[in-house]
Amino acid sequence: MKVCVSGGAGYIGSHCVRELERAGHDPLVIDNLSKGHKAAVKKSPLYTGDIRDPDFLRKVFTESRPDAVIHFAADSLVGESMENPLKYYRNNVYTSLCLLESMLEFDIKYIVFSSTAATYGDPYQIPIRENDPTIPKNPYGETKLAIEKMLSWCKVYNITYTVLRYFNAAGADQNSDIGEDHSPETHLIPIVLQTALGKREKIMIYGDDYKTPDGTCIRDYIHVSDLSTAHILALQKMQADGVSNTYNLGTSSGLSVREIIKTAEKVTGKTIPYAVAPRRSGDPAELIAESSRARSELNWKPRYENVESIISSAWKWHKNNPDGYK
């Protein structure tokens, strides 16, 4: 299958491209490289440009004639979205609209959309199920939900879609030649490992008075390669049955910030200094996915369900590439 991967030079996108290659598919990448890295695209063709430019997409689709699209390209910083919401509507919602219009022009009928647990807002229950209320607390989650709703109306064009709502992606490819490199870095595991490498003085724990066993926030961490495999399974299912659906992707278990630090100390053999700071506004105490739907309907079987193995893969990447792709 020839698959166009938007945002395929980014963290999750580049790992999805790698898994598509391993599965024998034929991926191509479109990315404006505003956050992605050219060095993360090792084999597949990379088209550099803006999805909002119809001439650019027309050139890409004319040359490549993809059978399906996996759509990662988006801005994803919660704090930034609160400060500049229109940027998120422009770069997330409008970009997705332009992509869908080009798909219609070239009769591309399948799309997998990279969504987020931020669509739920404060969880109605733990673990979170796909049919739970979606009441986002920030423009990032709101724009992702708006795209989900836009996709649901595209049934009139006979477009079949799969929405994948991620929880906390982490880890790196088994070859350790691609991994997580954001600027600024906001994700817990790479920040912890950067601290272990001496790139940071200490890690800040934002709040230790939550109603959790050790007082720190609990999150569901899923290996980026397992996330990537789910996209391929979603494409295969859509081609087989033509049914659109929404799936949570997580391990259905959670770890606290303190537990992540402790596990990272075990993996790295280093003491990782930290300090406690006040809570951040809007951080729920606990976010855990109920992902049995993906397991049963997609036959999705995560390979890295032990957080130690997830952190170990990330540590190999960060240790070998302390400055990321630079």
Among all residues, which ones are annotated catalytic? 140
Find where tokens 């699209």 sit: 69
Q: How far apart are the first and last CA of the chain?
A: 32
Q: What residue type is assigned to position 239 of the chain?
A: Q
